[in-house]
Structure 1
Amino acid sequence: MLENDAHGLGFGTYSLTGEDGIDALVTALEAGYRHLDTARLYGNEAEVGEAIDRADVDRDELFVATKIAHFEEPEKTPEYVRNGVEESRSRLGIDTIDLLYHHWPRNRDDIETVLPVFNELVETEAVERVGLSNYTPSDLELADELLEPSPYAVQAEMHPYLPQEKLRGAVRDRGAFFVAYSPIAQGEVFEDTTISAIADERDTTEAAVSLAWLRSKDGVVPIPRSKTPEHIRSNREALELDLTDEAIERIDDIDRRLRCEDPEWMQWEE
């Protein structure tokens, strides 16, 4: 479902809580977003479920992704994962989770405990597809040994200042989608002279240019997040924005490097 334009630009939901969060989610659904990305740790699965209920969109059109077993969550036992997924399904108001990610593994033990349970969840049809969030290439090799269904998607931070060539190659080798969070580098692209110049040339926004650049990369699906109705709608300009090869190369050549999400304990593989 991620391969077509309706799902080729998802909607991130981090920090969208309460009535304001529901309003933003309904706006996104009414604007045409069909791929919603949440997580148990975000504390807003109920809001996502309520927005799905309020919006005039058929469930069959939606692609709902959530995540479990974040490094800040309690001990990751198999029973914890099973119970947590049942709670997520209930809060989201859906029978089957379209895509379930293992969220921010802290160590090898996390991966070895959680992924076998994901196999069970696919067998029981509680989950249709599995994903891996903030995995390194080495983590993906371990996942290869543990997962029976291949990962459908791998989610990580990606934007013009973090192009993720090595990880994208590892994801592409597995035939998975690369789902890019923080796709506008938490607002940093608005101050970038190269991206601003391209936005002016195309009469669009810096956010749309950054999202279109991401979509130009094979198998990459960005998931922007916004609370502002105007931005929620304008970000979808990226679906109709075909950057020239020259514009893509100018963005590729930006030499700034920035990682917005960088826990001290995480050992990245650049």
Structure 2
Amino acid sequence: MSAQPTIVVDGLSIPLLGFGTWELSPPDARRMVAEALRIGYRHIDTAWIYKNEAAVGDGIRDAIEAGHVTRDDIWLTTKIWVAHFGHDALLAQARESATSLGFTPDLLLLHWPKAEPTFAETLGALNEAKDQGLTRSIGLSNFPSAEFKQAQGLSKAKLVTNQVEYHPYLANGPLLATARELGSSITAWSPLAQGKIADDPVINAIGKALGKSAGQVTLRWLIQQDVIAIPRTTKVSRAEESFDIFDFTLSDEEMARIHALARPDGRLGDWLDPAFKWDEAA
């Protein structure tokens, strides 16, 4: 891995800043993954449902062929879609994803919690995928604390992260505490609140004092909490800007001012099964 902040979970070193590919078309995914790896990103996130796994794999191969990285430099994450949570379907999709990527992923996540099939069946199959060498590690996405704890209780292997929406407008204290309790981590999707932080006066004031953009301040706020952040963009200049966050530190007072921006209506994407309930904001 390149010299940048990481979080170590279950003996695995995961770069705290990654590059996300949600809503990237295959051509954009291939182009931007290659560019991100050239810039210095060493963590790439995709999912089966994004329909760009093959393009992500092509982008990684482009970067390897250009001499920017080796496979061992990269942390690669993908996700099992909810329609594939049955035992056989999960293993089939894990094989499909590895084939599409052209690489064994470092991390395979369950994309959203689902009431049926049972957690026991799904977590059992996810562990089998790891045992069969279809992924190096396993984890979750969009699991509230109660289901996060339940899933870990059913999993032989450590669930190394829970990827959830997290940005300055959405408090996630309970989930962060649960991750610490379980020896796991939190990964933030939509870390820049889908661009809404760009015009925030508090974040911009902090950035102006530091010579940094609102996006850079927000990403720094996340990684200083040991939260993994996976911004995504179709613009090389924006990817370069987002990567330039390792030369400054936010003070405790600046961190607190950003935390204070959280609000009850801050959630941007809510596809949680009605069988489950998000944590109450602390």
TM-score (norm 1): 0.92
Counterpart in the other structure of 1:211: 219
1:221 is the counterpart of 2:228: yes
Distance 1:69 1:112, change over 3 A: farther
Greater CA drift, 224-233 or 137-146: 137-146
Deviation at 1:210, TM superposition (A): 0.5
**Cα distance between partner residues in 2 of 1:81 and 1:166:** 29
Tell me which residue corresponds to 1:242.
249
Of 176, 190, 193 in structure 1, the residue corresponding to residue 184 of structure 2 is: 176
Q: Does 1:149 pair with 2:161?
A: no
Residue 80 of structure 2 is matched in structure 1 by 68
Partner residue in 2 for 1:84: 93
Deviation at 1:18, TM superposition (A): 2.6
CA change 1:128–1:189 in 2 (3 A) is: same
Which 4+ stretches in 1 moved above 4 angstroms?
none
| 3-state SS of 2:159 partner | coil
Partner of 1:47: 55
2:71 to 39, 59, 65: 59
Contact 1:9–1:239 (8 Å) recurs in 2: no
- Tell me the CA shift for residue 24 of structure 1: 1.3
**Relative to 1, partners in 2 of residues 1:255 and 1:156: Cα closer, same or farther, differing over 3 Å?**
closer
Q: Which residue of 1 aligns with 2:20?
A: 12
> Could you tell me how far apart the structure 1 residues matched to 2:28 and 2:146 are?
39
Aligned equivalent of 1:230 = 237
Q: Any idea what the Cα deviations from partners look like across 1:36-75, whole Å, max 9, x if unmatched?
A: 01000000000110001111310000110000033xx3x5
Residues 44 and 156 of structure 1, relative CA distance in 2, 3 Å threshold: same
- The DSSP-based 3-state class of the residue aligned with 1:106 is coil
Instruction: Give the residue type in structure 2 aligned to 1:268.
Output: W
Say which SS state the counterpart of residue 194 (structure 1) adopts. helix
Aligned residue for 1:3?
7
Give how far 1:78 is off: 1.0
Asked if the contact 2:165–2:188 (Cα under 8 Å) also holds between the matched residues in 1, the reply is: yes
Please tell me whether the aligned partners of residues 24 and 52 of structure 2 are also in contact (alpha carbons under 8 angstroms): yes
The unaligned stretches of length 5 or more in structure 1 are none
Give the Å deviation of 1:238.
Answer: 1.9
SS at match of 1:239: coil
In 2, Cα distance between equivalents of 1:34 and 1:153: 17
Distance in 1 of aligned mates of 2:125 and 2:85:
11
SS of the counterpart of 1:100? strand
Deviates further, 160-169 or 102-111: 102-111
CA distance in 1, matches of 2:122, 2:213: 40
Identity between Structure 1 and Structure 2 (%) = 33
Mark the CA change 1:77 to 1:34 in structure 2 (over 3 Å): closer, same or farther. Answer: same
Residues 113 and 272, structure 2, Cα contact 8 Å, conserved in 1: no
8 Å CA contact 1:22–1:50 kept in 2: the answer is: yes
**Contact 2:171 2:263 survives alignment (8 Å):** no
Corresponding residue of 1:268: 278
Partners of 2:116 and 2:143 in 1: how far apart? 11
Query: RMSD over aligned Cα, in angstroms?
Result: 1.8
**Residue 138 of structure 1, aligned match among 123, 127, 146:** 146
TM-score by length of structure 2 reads: 0.89
- Alpha-carbon deviations, 1:175-214, whole Å to 9, x = none? 1121111101001101211001111111111001000111
User: Structure 1 residue 250: deviation in Å?
Assistant: 1.3
Partner of 2:112: 104
CA distance in 2, matches of 1:173, 1:210: 25
